[in-house]
């Protein structure tokens, strides 16, 4: 007898070191740069008040937090959670893609209209009912016209 390979999901095995990808590194460095700029501004603000050491510690904490935040944005995906509708629909999309698309949306100033579906279906049903009534009225008018024409063409015949 031959061997039989049991199918299994091997997608995650090649992605073991995904956290060390180039994209994650770029986002981490970008976060650290933002943290360095913020630390520099806090140090300058602290030197005005004479407490540059305390502001430097706070700036270093911000530097570390922004570095971690950049790393998370570069590597994490939106988790699937059945409690919220947005996480049902957008589960598995990377956070950086979500942030970039939302920024593009704001820059282009597109408008997104959200409708109450109950109201839409109610309006749709009312519109269909009105249309059916109009069609019935037209059919009746046509039927009455046909009866009148037919009665005119009958010469002396009794109905």
Q: Can you tell me the mean pLDDT for 2-8?
A: 71
How crowded is the C-beta side of 113, counted as CA atoms within 13 Å?
A: 3
Using one digit for the tens of pLDDT, what is the confidence trace for 13-47?
A: 555 566 678 888 899 999 999 999 999 998 888 88
- Whether pTM > 0.75 for this model: the answer is no
Say yes or no to pLDDT of 126 above 60. Answer: yes
pLDDT, tens digit (0-9, with 9 covering 90-100), for 53-96: 888 888 899 999 999 999 988 888 888 787 877 777 777 888 88
Exposure string over 1-35, b if 16+ CB within 10 A, otherwise e: eeeeeeeeeeeeeeeeeeeeeeebeebbebbbebb
Structure confidence at residue 13 (pLDDT)? 53
């Amino acid at each position: 007898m031959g061997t039989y390979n049991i199918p299994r999901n091997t997608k995650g095995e090649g992605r073991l070191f995904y956290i060390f990808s180039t994209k994650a590194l770029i986002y981490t460095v970008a976060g650290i740069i933002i943290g360095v700029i913020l630390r520099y501004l806090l140090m300058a603000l602290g030197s005005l008040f004479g407490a540059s050491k305390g502001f430097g510690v706070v700036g270093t904490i911000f530097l570390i937090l922004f570095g971690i935040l950049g790393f998370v944005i570069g590597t994490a995906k939106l988790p699937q959670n059945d409690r919220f509708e947005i996480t049902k629909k957008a589960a598995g999309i990377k956070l950086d893609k979500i942030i970039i698309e939302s920024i593009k949306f704001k820059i282009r100033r597109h408008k997104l209209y959200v409708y109450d579906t109950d109201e839409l279906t109610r309006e749709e049903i009312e519109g269909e009912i009105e249309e059916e009534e109009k069609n019935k009225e037209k059919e009746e008018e046509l039927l009455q016209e046909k009866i009148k024409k037919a009665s005119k063409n009958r010469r002396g015949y009794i109905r």
